[in-house]
């Protein structure tokens, strides 16, 4: 029997000794549909059902192992033990009662540690299972053969995390990498989802947002989010254009000043006065442009 040193050994008897041996070829993750730590999961397996998993993970990432990974556990239906002797290692994770919440960062890290260990000890291939019997990594609802009556376990949020964070993390950890290498498409997808979440959060406010007093017009003290975004973009672009004009104006003044000083046509004081007047005019133009944006 193989026991993971990173988990507390809470051996489930008589199952640990009585159930047949397996050759581990898969790792399947679950949600237990209860906010239980590893000790409470063990007690449930011991007292309330004839089913069990190999591992249990609490929200804080603490881990318990109930059966050695080369002994059958009964959480995966047809994947528990096949006629050829292969079978799946199973991980139960604490969740809310409906298994709709995402895994915590600590739960993700615990799964990555177990997943990398299972790869090292049992030589699981670093891929997501392609069929019910294909060696690799998966989640409970991935194939109907892994559940006796159908299931959505571990839940939609966690399925997304499994594919985007947990499994890539197992691959990276198994290869000795400290970070997960993402393709440009994967980065774009993740960023798009984050931005979509931010936008959705903004639009789910009460419909209006406060803005600085100098932005408002009579009778319209508050704007909708889209209006603020559009106006901010206009102001930024106008500021960029005006700043560029101001820089160009300053450069021109410097050149004129240099020529005048070389030719002796102006005193230094007169030249400085002319430059200051030119700069003030440029600043006045900048102010007018920004002020006119409110109209």
193 falls within a domain: no
More confident residue, 202 or 152: 152
Same domain, 60 and 128: yes
**pLDDT tens digits, one per residue of 136-156:** 999 999 999 999 888 889 999
143 falls within a domain: yes
**pLDDT tens digits, one per residue of 82-98:** 999 999 999 999 999 99
Which position has the token pair 């549909």? 33
Q: Is the per-residue pLDDT at 189 higher than 70? A: no
Q: Is the per-residue pLDDT at 81 higher than 60? A: yes
Collapsing DSSP to helix, strand or coil, 232 comes out as helix
Q: Are 103 and 166 within 8 A, CB to CB?
A: yes
Neighbours of 19 (CB within 10 A): 17
Q: Give the angle 67-29-65 at the CA atoms, nearest 5°.
A: 25
Which two structure tokens, joined as six digits, stand for 289? Answer: 């442009």
Same domain, 236 and 176: no
Length of the chain: 295
- Residue 242 binned pLDDT confidence (cut-offs 50, 70, 90): confident
Q: Is the per-residue pLDDT at 16 higher than 80? A: yes
**In the chain, pLDDT over 70 holds for what percent of residues?**
66
201 falls within a domain: no
Please provide the average confidence, as pLDDT, over all residues in the chain: 81
Q: Is the per-residue pLDDT at 171 higher than 70? A: yes
The mean per-residue pLDDT over the stretch 33-46 comes to 94
113 falls within a domain: yes
Same domain, 163 and 70: yes
Same domain, 143 and 12: yes
Same domain, 14 and 76: yes
pTM over 0.85: no
The mean per-residue pLDDT over the stretch 252-275 comes to 63
Could you give the C-alpha distances from 90 to 52, 54, 112, in angstroms and in order? 9, 5, 13
pLDDT at residue 72 in the model: 97
The mean per-residue pLDDT over the stretch 61-89 comes to 96
pLDDT at residue 292 in the model: 61
Same domain, 26 and 97: yes
Measured CA to CA, the distance from residue 158 to residue 116 in angstroms comes to: 19
Same domain, 53 and 124: yes
Same domain, 39 and 162: yes
pLDDT at residue 205 in the model: 47
More confident residue, 191 or 14: 14
Same domain, 180 and 222: no
Q: Which residues contact 11 (CB under 8 A, 6 or more apart)?
A: 66, 67
Same domain, 256 and 161: no
For the stretch 170-175, contacts whose Cβ atoms lie closer than 8 Å and that sit 24 or more positions apart, written own/partner, are: 170/111, 170/112, 170/115, 170/116, 170/119, 170/126, 170/137, 171/126, 173/112, 173/113, 173/115, 173/116, 174/115, 174/116, 174/119, 174/120, 174/126, 175/126
Which two structure tokens, joined as six digits, stand for 124? Answer: 């699981």
Last residue of a domain, one of 120, 151, 186: 186
208 falls within a domain: no
DSSP code for 14: T
Strands (E) in the chain, as ranges, are: 8-9, 23-31, 55-57, 63-65, 86-93, 136-139, 209-210, 222-223
197 falls within a domain: no
In this structure, of 6-15, 164-173, 237-246, the range with the lowest mean pLDDT score is 237-246
The mean per-residue pLDDT over the stretch 52-81 comes to 96
192 falls within a domain: no
Last residue of a domain, one of 147, 171, 186: 186
Q: Which domain holds residue 243?
A: 213-292
Same domain, 287 and 145: no
165 falls within a domain: yes
Of 196, 80, 94, 207, the C-alpha closest to 145 is 80
Q: Are 88 and 25 within 8 A, CB to CB?
A: yes
DSSP code for 102: P
Same domain, 266 and 167: no
Give me the number of domains the chain comprises.
2
């Amino acid at each position: 029997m193989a026991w993971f040193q990173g988990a507390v050994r809470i051996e489930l008897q008589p199952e640990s000794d009585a159930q047949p041996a397996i050759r581990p070829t898969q790792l399947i993750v679950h949600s237990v549909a209860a906010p239980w730590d590893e000790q409470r999961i063990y007690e449930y397996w011991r007292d309330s059902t004839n089913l069990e998993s190999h591992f249990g993970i609490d929200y804080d990432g603490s881990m318990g192992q109930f059966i050695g990974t080369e002994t059958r556990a009964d959480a995966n239906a047809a994947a528990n033990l096949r006629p050829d002797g292969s079978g799946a290692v199973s991980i139960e994770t604490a969740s809310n009662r409906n298994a709709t919440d995402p895994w915590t960062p600590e739960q993700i890290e615990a799964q990555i540690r177990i997943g990398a260990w299972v790869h090292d000890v049992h030589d699981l291939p670093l891929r997501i299972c392609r069929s019910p019997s294909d060696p690799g990594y998966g989640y409970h609802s991935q194939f109907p053969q892994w559940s006796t009556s159908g299931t959505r376990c571990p839940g939609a949020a966690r399925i997304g995390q499994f594919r985007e964070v947990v499994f890539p993390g197992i691959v990276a950890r198994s290869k000795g990498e400290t970070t997960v290498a993402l393709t440009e498409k994967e980065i774009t997808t993740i960023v798009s989802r984050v931005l979509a979440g931010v936008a959705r959060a903004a639009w789910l406010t009460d419909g209006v947002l406060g803005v600085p007093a100098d932005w408002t017009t009579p009778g319209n003290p508050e704007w909708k989010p889209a209006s603020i975004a559009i106006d901010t973009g206009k102001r930024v672009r106008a500021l960029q254009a005006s700043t560029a004009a101001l820089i160009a104006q300053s450069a021109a003044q410097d050149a004129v000043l240099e020529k005048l000083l070389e030719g002796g046509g102006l005193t230094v004081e007169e030249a400085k006065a002319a430059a200051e007047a030119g700069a003030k005019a440029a600043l006045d133009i900048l102010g007018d442009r920004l002020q006119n944006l409110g109209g």
